[in-house]
Amino acid sequence: MRLDAKIPAGPLPQKWDRHRFELKLVNPANKRKYDIIVVGTGLAGASASASLAELGYNVKTFCIQDSPRRAHSIAAQGGINAAKNYPNDGDSIWRLFYDTVKGGDFRAREANVYRLAQVSNWIIDQCVAQGVPFAREYGGLLANRSFGGAQLSRTFYARGQTGQQLLLGAYSALMRQVASGKVRMFPRREMLDLVVINGQARGIVARNLVSGEIERHEGHAVVLCTGGYGNVYYLSTNAKACNVTATFRAYKRGACFGNPCFTQIHPTCIPVHGTYQSKLTLMSESLRNDGRVWVPKTPGDQRKPSQIPEAERDYFLERKYPSFGNLVPRDVASRNAKEQCDQGKGVGDTGLAVFLDFSDAIKRDGRAVIEKKYGNLFQMYEKITGEDPYATPMMIYPAVHYTMGGLWVDYNLMSTIDGLYVLGEANFSDHGANRLGASALMQGLADGYFVIPYTIGGYLAGSHFAEVKNDHSAFTDSVKEVQERVTKLLAVRGRRTVDDFHRQLGLVMWDHCGMARTNEGLTTARARIQELRAEFWQNVRVPGTGRDFNQSLEKAGRVADFMEFAELLILDALARQESCGGHFNDAYQTEENEARRDDANFCHAAAWEFTGEGKDPVLHKEPLVFENVHLTQRSYK
């Protein structure tokens, strides 16, 4: 297999224009002859479905939840970036591009990132026109705030509920198309296989989560917008239904998986407090605008924060990174918190937490201002911990949050399977080895509103399609495989629950493939995962039947895929013998404990090809060519 990123020729700022001009067009009357399947209704899927339907394509859209409005994007808190430069503080498309490439530790494709920065401003225009109630200044114009990894304010926000508001905007556009008949919506469906015919993605097989029926859906192209795989760690800030199944099934049908080891651990989450815990809650990065991170200077200091005098506190981010301070990128902030806790300076019952303190900000701006900015986050914190963050500092600790890796895609967002597109967090495209805050929302909407509507047309207009009905043998075979797997899961009837296995898998991943990785740890983890997977198929207990609403069965299928996928993630981490962004191998660090890249040997995107059950996948490398930015050691000092 040869990876072809299909990056258009020409100078960076003109690539996208030129490419749009060169793409073939589908004439308006012909668009209705094409059926497009969109899986997922987060920012990427909802925006893609609506935009494609507006153009005239027939769209079939699928999601797991009972309503498309509930996709995980709804939970995003802090904001969305754009290069509007409203604050007049020196922003530009070029700077947003540069910050994103640098923040990703130079492991993303220049052309894609530049395009992302280019379309970022249209996204804000579109969302405002949909009625997204972004925060505004007194004069009625849009307000901005800062986020990690940037020294200026380019983040648009709607209180701490930006994802909710953006998703509801995209969802309302989607509902409008459902009403017009151009989108057929299939909620409570889980895609369990991709159907490839003559090398083209031509449909999906999905389980109806209410009736248990295995359904077939055919189309001319399939667009996966199924989100990230952070839940391979069990505990994460992701919603419970987030999974790798759709992308992993596509991988097994020939789509290469890109950079699976690039996972992001977010520095500010509510710490773990018990073994029963089912998920972790993020406290938005925007809090680092006003909150100061600190630990006691002396290891083992058990005093209450109010009793620790100023002189005995270490504001370690401000000390180590004077120019970015508390706003260093996530990977840097997380690793530093871990380092402090490893030195015994962690706080709270478990010693696995640091303080995030708002007392200075409250003193400076008054409680009302802080309440207006972060009220709902403070409330959320109080509900979970029973403590009042206005009165006492928050305690936070890093948690798994986002996955930069995903299916490999070219400049058109097409995977290594013709006609299979991948958008949003599900692809690997724009964030390299570390994503900057407020850039995932931007990317999801860029992909869905402003990239796929153009690139899919080029493919449809330029391809020949054999007539395919859903009784084609490829569908029949796939349905049979899916059904057999369901039967097999139910038939084990062992003694351990699905969650029990998932939790154990998560611990192995967190301990050995989390914030810091070693070759020995990764090797151990691989062996453990293999053992655990073998035990799963011998000893898992999935109650109920496959013929009705069965949440245990849903979970079991997802965990079974995580068990296989986890090994791929580990393999990728082992293959990348350098540190970069969120992938930190202890053996490769600078004297100041920062990630040390090896550009001579690893300046590439890894794309893994499935070669059969029980066989090791094959690694392909897409060299990353930087013609416009100079590769440097990232510095946030």
Ligand X SMILES: Cc1cc2nc3c(=O)[nH]c(=O)nc-3n(C[C@H](O)[C@H](O)[C@H](O)COP(=O)(O)OP(=O)(O)OC[C@H]3O[C@@H](n4cnc5c(N)ncnc54)[C@H](O)[C@@H]3O)c2cc1C
Q: Which residues ranging from 312 to 371 are in contact with another protein (CB under 8 A)?
A: none
Residues in the chain: 637
283 lines the binding site for ligand X (CB under 6 A): no
Min. distance of Cβ 214 from another protein in angstroms?
19
Give yes or no for residue 500 binding another protein (CB under 8 A): yes
d(CA 331, CA 267): 8
- What DSSP state is assigned to residue 306? G
Choices 135-143, 239-247, 351-359, 472-480 (CB under 6 A): range interacting with ligand X: 239-247
Take residue 22 and report the two structure tokens written for it: 């060169």
Pair 103, 435: CB distance under 8 Å: yes
Site size toward another protein, by CB under 8 A: 81
CA distance 271 to 505: 19
Question: Alpha-carbon torsion 188, 555, 196, 23, what sign?
Answer: positive
Is residue 279 part of the contact set for another protein (CB under 8 A)?
Answer: yes
Work out how close the CB of 583 gets to another protein at its nearest, in angstroms, rounded to a whole number: 27
Q: Which of 337, 341, 362, 438 binds ligand X (CB under 6 A)?
A: 438
Stretch that binds ligand X, among 94-102, 184-192, 373-381, 514-522 (CB under 6 A): 184-192
Contact status: 79 vs ligand X (CB under 6 A): yes
359 versus 539: smaller Cβ distance to another protein: 539
549 binds another protein (CB under 8 A): yes
Contact residue for ligand X among 267, 444, 514, 582 (CB under 6 A):
444
Which of 497, 524, 539, 589: binder of another protein (CB under 8 A)? 497
Q: Quick check: 273 binds another protein (CB under 8 A)? A: yes
Q: Which is nearer to another protein, 480 or 547 (CB)?
A: 547
Task: Using alpha carbons, select from 402, 397, 356 the residue that is nearest to residue 272.
Answer: 397
Give the residue from 325, 264, 245 showing the smallest Cα distance to 291. 325
Nearer to another protein, 376 or 476 (CB): 376
What is the 3-class SS of 42-95, one letter each residue?
A: CHHHHHHHHHHHHHCCEEEEECCCCCHHHCHHHHCCCCEECCCCCCCCCCCHHH
In a 3-state reduction of DSSP, which class is residue 198?
coil
Comparison of 206 and 474: residue with beta carbon closer to ligand X = 206
- Give yes or no for residue 84 binding another protein (CB under 8 A): yes
Total number of residues that touch ligand X (CB under 6 A): 47
At closest approach, how far in Å is the CB of 504 from ligand X? 23
Q: Which of residues 558-617 bind another protein (CB under 8 A)?
A: none
When binding is defined by CB under 8 A, the residue of 70, 145, 330, 517 that contacts another protein is 70
Residue 158 binds: one of ligand X, another protein, none (C-beta under 5 to 8 A by kind):
another protein
Per rule CB under 8 A, is residue 384 in the interface with another protein?
yes
Q: Report what 54 binds from ligand X, another protein, none; CB cut-off 5-8 Å by kind.
A: another protein
Shortest reach from residue 56's CB to another protein, in Å: 11
Place of tokens 């067009």: 25
Write the CB contacts of 274 (distance below 8 Å, at least 6 apart in sequence): none
Among the candidate windows 25-33, 96-104, 193-201, 548-556, which touches another protein by CB under 8 A?
A: 548-556
> For residues 188-227, which are near another protein according to CB under 8 A?
210
| Measured CA distances, 592 to 119, 331, 595, 633 (Å) | 37, 15, 9, 12
Smallest gap from Cβ 174 to another protein, in A, equals 9
**C-alpha distances in angstroms, 385 versus 123, 388, 392?**
36, 8, 12
**E-assigned strand segments in 498-617:** 540-541, 604-609
Can residue 450 be called a binding residue for another protein (CB under 8 A)? yes
The reply on whether position 504 binds another protein by CB under 8 A is no
Take residue 208 and report the two structure tokens written for it.
């109806």
Closest Cα partner for 209 from 192, 228, 190, 224? 190
Site for ligand X in 373-432 (CB under 6 A): 401-402, 424-426
Residue 6 in contact with residue 429, Cβ under 8 Å? no
Q: Residues 6 or more apart from 457 whose CB is under 8 A from it? A: 23, 24, 25, 26, 55
The residue of the chain with the least Cβ separation from ligand X equals 42
The continuous run of DSSP H or E covering 250 comes out as helix 245-252
Catalytic, 547? Answer no
Q: Write down the catalytic residue from 69, 107, 207, 330.
A: 330
Q: Does 32 bind another protein (CB under 8 A)?
A: no
Does the protein bind another protein through residue 68 (CB under 8 A)? yes
Partner interacting with residue 165 (select from ligand X, another protein, none; CB below 5-8 Å by kind):
another protein
Calpha distance 462→113 (Å, rounded): 26
The neighbour count for residue 213, using CB atoms within 10 Å, is: 13
Q: How many Å apart are CA 569 and CA 317, to the nearest integer?
A: 30
User: Shortest gap between Cβ of 155 and another protein (angstroms)?
Assistant: 14
- What the block records as the tokens of 341 is 């806790």
| Residues from 144 through 173 that contact ligand X (CB under 6 A) | 162-163
User: Nearest Cα to 447, choosing from 257, 608, 226?
Assistant: 226
How many helices (H) and strands (E) the chain has is answered by: 18, 22
- Partner that binds at residue 246, options another protein, ligand X, none, CB closer than 5 to 8 Å by kind: ligand X
Residue 182 CB, nearest approach to ligand X (Å): 19
178 binds another protein, rule: CB under 8 A: yes
511 touching another protein, by CB under 8 A: no
Q: What residues contact residue 231 under an 8 Å CB cut-off, 6+ apart?
A: 238, 240, 242, 243, 244, 558, 562
388: tokens are: 């009042």
The least CB distance from residue 259 to another protein, in Å, is 26
41 binds ligand X (CB under 6 A): yes
| Residue 112 interface partner, choices ligand X, another protein, none, CB cut-off 5-8 Å depending on type | none
Of the candidates 302, 312, 290, 295, the one whose C-alpha atom is nearest the C-alpha of residue 389 is 290
Min separation Cβ 299 and ligand X, Å: 31
Of residues 145-174, which lie at the interface with another protein (CB under 8 A)? 158-159, 161, 164-165, 168, 171-173
CA-nearest of 395, 450, 383, 414 to 120 is 450
Nearer to another protein, 157 or 428 (CB): 157
Out of 120, 439, 478, 585, which residue is the one contacting ligand X (CB under 6 A)? Answer: 439
**Residues near ligand X, by CB under 6 A:** 39-45, 62-65, 71-73, 75-80, 162-163, 189-191, 225-228, 237-238, 242-243, 245-246, 282, 284, 401-402, 424-426, 438-441, 444
Q: Hey, which residues are catalytic here?
A: 330
